[in-house]
Structure 1
Amino acid sequence: MTTTHHVPAGKATSGQYAVDITPETAGWGYSSLRVLDLRPGDSYLFTAGDSEWIVLSLSGGCTVAVTDDHGRDTFALHGRDSVFSGVSDFVYVPRDATATLTSDTGGRFALTGARCERRLPPRYGPAPSVPVELRGTGNCSRKVHNFGAAGVFECDKLIAVEVITPGGNWSSYPPHKHDENRPGEETELEEIYYFEFADHEGTPGLGYQRVSPSGNGQGTDVLAEVRGGDVVLIPDGWHGPSMAVPGHDMYYLNVMAGPGAERAWLICDHPDHAWIRDTWPGRPVDPRLTTAPSQ
C-alpha cells in the first residue's frame, strides 16, 4: 500500500511500468493506472483480470491486439506526438481479456482501469469522436478531453478524462468532491491524477495540487508540488485547485471509479468557493486554449 497520497515520479514503478497504481497499492476498491514505456519494436502483453481498461497514447502509436473467449481483435492506435499536441484515439480492453501492445516507433501509453462486473466488447475510439470542452474563463480556463467520460463512451465503472491547463492558470477550481453517494447530487468516486508538464527551453515544468478534508477535518489532506510523472491519489476530500506555474502548461489525466450503481460524475462544489462559477458567464476563455490544437 502507498504511504502517501502524493506519489512522486519513480516511486510507483513495477517491472516495465513507469507508474503502477492498483486498488491494492492505493488502498481502495476500484481505480487503477499504469503507464507503460515501449521502445521501438517492443511488445508488451498485459492481463485485464477483473478490470476494464482504456489504452491511451501519451506519446507515440501502437497496435493493440485484444484476445478473449470471443476471439481476437486488433486495433491500430495512431496516438499523438505528446499530450500537448491534441486529442488521441484510444482502445477499450474488457475484463477477462489479454492485450498485446506493439509499437514500431516506441511511445508512452496510459492504461486507465477500473474493477467492474460487466464484460463489454473491445472497441476503438477515434480521436474526432472525443468531445473537447472549454471549462472556466480567464485564469480558471482549461480544456477537457472527455474521451472516457460518462455519457460519452460506454464502460461499466471506468470514467477517464484529460485536462490541459495553460501556464499560470488554476484548474480543478472551485474545489469539489465526490466522496458520497447522494442520488442526483453526488457520486462516490476514487480518483487518480497523473501529471505531465510542458518544458520551456529545456527547463522542466511544475505545479501544485491541493486536496483538503471534507469530513469534519478528517480525511485526505495534500498540498504537493507536482512534476512530470507524479501521481496524486484522492480517495475523498475537496480537490483543487490544480495550479500550473507561469510559463509551463500542465496536463493531467483523471481516472475515476466507485461502488455506485450509476456511472456518473456528479460533484459537490466547496461552499466557500462555489461562487466563482457565477463569474464565468460572458467572460472570455483564455485565448491560448482556443488557438491550441484539439485534434
Structure 2
Amino acid sequence: MRDRLVALALMCLAGTAALAAPPASPPRAAPVGASSAEAPAPPPALPEGNAGLAARYPGDAGIAKAPAVLFADGFEDAAAPEDLGRTWDAVYHASCTRIAEEPENVHAGRRALEFRVPQQAAALHNTAAKQFKDEQDVVFLRFYSKLEKGFDMAGGGYHTGGTISAHYYTAGRASAGVRADGRNKFLAGFESERQNRQTPSPGPLNVYCYHPEQRDVWGDHFFPTGTVVPFSSRPHPFGPHFVARPDVVPEPDRWTCYEVMVKANTVGRRDGRIACWVDGKLIADFLNLRLRDVADLKIDRIQIGLGVGTNPVRENKKWYDDVVVATSYIGPMVAAKK
C-alpha cells in the first residue's frame, strides 16, 4: 500500500510540473532576406562592351523589333515636344523641353531631346516616362546623354539620369518620402549625386534606390565603391561577392552611353541585383539585394529626366538620345555601315 501511495504522489508531482512549465515556442521562420549558413554562390558574370543587342543592329536601325526590346526611341519622329506624347506616356514641363537639331546636340540621326532647368528658386523636374502594361522582373535601360558645358546644379531633389521602377508612381504621381516595404514599390535611378557645391560638378555617379531596407525615408544612394549614403559608416549590404570600383564623374559637353539593369529578387532570397555601365564598361554591380517580398511586384516604368529642388546659380541643360529598354544587355550603339 505504501509503495502505491508513493507512486501516486510522484505522478501527481510530475503532472503539476508539466502544467506549470511554459509551452515550447514554435520555431521561428527566418526573416525574408536572412542569410543562410551556406555562403551564396558567386553571381553570373555580366556582359560588357559590344556583347549586347545593339551590336546586331548597327546605328540602332531596327532594334525596336528585337524580341527582347520593350521600347526604343531616337526622337527622330518628334518635331516638337508635343509630339513626344505619341511614344512616351508622360512628359512633364513641355515649356522647358525642346527637340534639338543642332549637330553638336544630337548623338545620332537628326534629332535629340533637350531638357532645360531655368535659373529659379522653385523646384522643377523635367521627365519623359514610359509605362509598361506587361510588367517585368528584369529590365535594362540604355540611353545616351550630354550635359552642357559649365553645368552647375546641386542640392535636394537633384536627379540627372535614367530610372527603372516598380509601382513607384500611382496615377502618375511619385511616392517620394514613402518607404518601400517589400510590397508597395522599389526604384533605382542611375544618376549623379551632388548635395552641395563643394562637390565638383556634376557629382559622382550612383544609384538612387528605394528598397525595403533603405536607411532613410527619402531613399539611399549606392556608390560603386560600396559606400551607402546616408549613414555611410555602416557596412554595405551587397554581400561577400561585391567588388568595389572607383567612383565615376561624368564629363560635361560629351555624349556618353549609360546603361542600368535592375533584376528583382526571387521572393525570400537575396538575389536582387542592380548594375551600371558607362560606354559599355561595368562601373558598378550591387548584389545581394532584397527589392521585394511578393512576386507580383514587378517593374512597370522607366524614365529619363533632369531636375532639382532649387536652381539659383544659372540655367542648365541636358540632352538625351537613342533610348532603348530591353530584357537583356543592350550595350553601346555600333556605327552603321556606310
TM-score range, shorter chain: 0.3 to 0.5
Larger CA Rg, structure 1 vs 2 = 2
Q: Which has the higher helix share?
A: 2
* TM-score, length-scaled by structure 2: 0.31
TM-score (ref. length: structure 1): 0.35
Q: Which protein is richer in strand relative to its size?
A: 1
